[in-house]
Amino acid sequence: MVQESNENLPTSTSAITEDEILLQDQQMKRIEDEQKAAPLVGDKSPFFTLIGYYDEVTSPAFFAKANELAETYSDIRYIRGDGNCFYRAVLVGLVEIMLNDREKLLKFIASSKEWTDRLVKLGFPDWTCTDFCEYFIEFLQKIADGKTKNEAVFENMNDDNTANYLLMFFRLITSGYLKGNSTEYEPFIGEGMPLAQYCESEIEAMWKEADHLAIIALVKATNIHLRIEYMDRSVAPNGGWHHNLPDGDDATFVPDITLLYRPGHYDLIYKKSVDSSG
Amino acid sequence: MSDAATRRLMKELAQLKNENPEGLLIDNAITSSDLKQWKIGVVGAEGTLYAGEVFTLQFTFGPQYPFNSPEVMFVGDTIPAHPHIYSNGHICLSILSDDWTPALSVQSVCLSILSMLSSSKEKKHPMDDAIYVRTCNKNPSKTRWWFHDDSV
C-alpha cells in the first residue's frame, strides 16, 4: 500500500511529482559521482597527506590531532566513503596480512569454510549465502595457489563487482556472529527491534554503515585485533583517543589492523616501523 | 550486465530449473539473451482466492544485482486484484525496496509474492489505485512506499 506520511490518508505518492523525483535523482547521482571519483581502495599514501585536509585556523583540533598521529603512523590508505568503508578497510587490511603470511592465509581459508557451514546452520538462505562464501574462498584460494598475484589482488578489490562479493562475505559473517550470539547482543539493539531484523536491514544490506555492534561482531567473527584511532575524542566509545577491539590493555595489545575514524568514515592506517621512527 | 551479475543470474536460473518450486512455471520462463529481463509464471495456490489462476511476473535486473534489488512487477493481460497490487502491475512489497538483501533471490521473491496472494482475503486493488496508476513512475522502484500492513 502506498501512503504519504500521514498513515490515515489512503493517498498515493502523487504528492511527489515527477520533477521532484528527477531532482532527487540528480542530487543522488551527483553525490554518487563524487564518491566514485575516489578509488574503492587507494594506494598507500604518506600519512602527512591527511594533515592537508585540515586548516590550522578553521579546524585546529583536527589539524593538531592529524599532526600528532603523524608521529606514530607513516602511511594511510584512503577507502571510498560509500557506506562500506568499515568492511572494506578490514577486508583490505586482512588481505594485506595474508599476502605476507601464508600460514594466516591458509588458516583464514579454513575458518571461512567453517563459516559457510555455520551460516547455513543459522538458517541463512542456503545457496545465495554459500555462493558469496564460495566466491570469497575462491578469491583467497587463488592467492594461495599463486594464481592471483599481489597486483591483481588490489585490482580485484578495486573492481566494484568483485569487491561487492567479497564485502558481502564480511557482512554475512558479521550478521552470522550476532545471530549466533543473539542472547548476548539483542539487548544492545534499540527500539526493541528483533536482532534478525536489525541484521537484515543494517548489516546484510549493502552500503549500510557499520555501527559499534557490527564492528564488534566482525572483529570477533574474523578473530582479529583491531585498533581504531579517533580524530575526535567525543565519539570514541571509551572516551579515549583510540579503542582496542577486543578490549585490550594498551601495553600488551598488538593490533593486526589499525583504522582511522573521522566522523562517519574509516580509513586504513599503518604504524611507522621501529627503524624509521628513529 | 556485469560478469558477476551474469554469473549469479545463471546460477539462479539453473537452481530454479533444478528445484522447480511449486506454484512457479519455470519451464515457461522467458529470459532475454543477456539475462537482464525474466518473465516467470506464477499459479495461485489451491484453496486461495486465486486458485489455478496464472499470472506473469517480470523481473528486470540492473548491473548491480544482487546488491540492488531487481525491479519486479506483474505484466500481461491478467494482473491479480489484491490489496497490495496495483492494476498496472506494481507490487507493494518491502523486500522489493527497503528490505532487499543480496541473500534474497528470484526464487525467494516469487515465493513471497505467492504467499502474499495466498493470504489475501479479498480480490481488489489498493484504495488509491486510480490515482497511483495515473501518477506513478513507470519504474516501480521509483515509488516511495509506506509499508504499514503485513497481514495480507
Question: What is the rounded CA–CA span in Å between residue A133 and residue A107?
Answer: 15
* Helices A85-100, A150-157: inter-axial angle, 10-degree rounding: 170
Radius of gyration of chain A (CA): 21
Range A237-245 average pLDDT? 79
pLDDT of residue A278: 40
Question: In which band, very low, low, confident or very high, does the pLDDT at B135 lie, cut at 50, 70 and 90?
Answer: confident
Q: Report pLDDT digits (tens) over A181-234.
A: 999 999 999 878 899 999 999 999 999 999 999 999 999 999 999 999 998 876
Classified as helix, coil or strand, B29 is strand
Q: Is some CB atom of chain A closer than 8 A to the CB atom of B80?
A: no
Among A2, A10, A125, the residue with its CB nearest the CB of B103 is A125
Compute the average pLDDT of residues B89-98.
Answer: 92
Q: Do the chains contact at A14 and B143, CB–CB below 8 Å?
A: no
CATH, domain range A45-77+228-239+246-271: 3.30.200.60
> Is the confidence at residue A21, as pLDDT, over 90?
no
Closest residue to B108, CB basis, from A16, A125, A205: A125
What is the least distance, in Å, from the CA of A93 to any CA of chain B?
23
The domain limits of chain A are 45-77+228-239+246-271, 81-224
pLDDT value of residue A4: 37
Q: What is the pLDDT of residues A122-175, one digit of tens each?
A: 999 888 999 999 999 999 999 999 999 999 999 999 999 899 999 999 999 999
Q: Give the best residue of A3, A5, A6, A12 to mutate against chain B (max B CB count within 10 A).
A: A12
- What is the arithmetic mean of pLDDT over A85-100? 97
Catalytic annotation, pick one of B42, B92, B113, B114:
B92
Q: What angle do CA A84, A269, A40 make, to 5 degrees?
A: 35
> Is B19 an 8 Å CB contact of chain A?
no
Cα–Cα distance, B74 to B92 (Å, whole number): 11
Please indicate whether residue A250 or residue A107 has the higher confidence score (pLDDT).
A107
DSSP string, B45-57: PTTSTTBT-EEEE
A199 is catalytic: no
CATH of B3-142, one of 3.90.1150.10, 3.10.110.10, 3.30.70.1880, 1.10.12.10: 3.10.110.10
Residue B105 distance to chain A (closest CA, Å)? 7
Residue of B nearest to A204 (CA): B101
pLDDT beyond 90 at B45: yes
0.90 surpassed by complex ipTM: no
> Is the CB of A200 less than 8 angstroms away from the CB of B131?
no
| Lowest mean pLDDT across A10-24, A57-71, A224-238, B116-130 | A10-24
Domain boundaries defined on chain B: 3-142
At residue B49, the pLDDT reads 96
Would you call B84 helix, strand, or coil by DSSP? coil
CATH superfamily entry for domain A81-224:
Peptidase C65 Otubain, subdomain 2 (1.20.1300.20)
- Nearest chain A CA: its distance from B35 CA (Å): 17
Using CA atoms, how far residue A73 sits from A50, A97, A229, in Å, is: 11, 17, 11
pLDDT of residue B83: 95
- Nearest Cβ partner for B128 among A10, A127, A207: A10
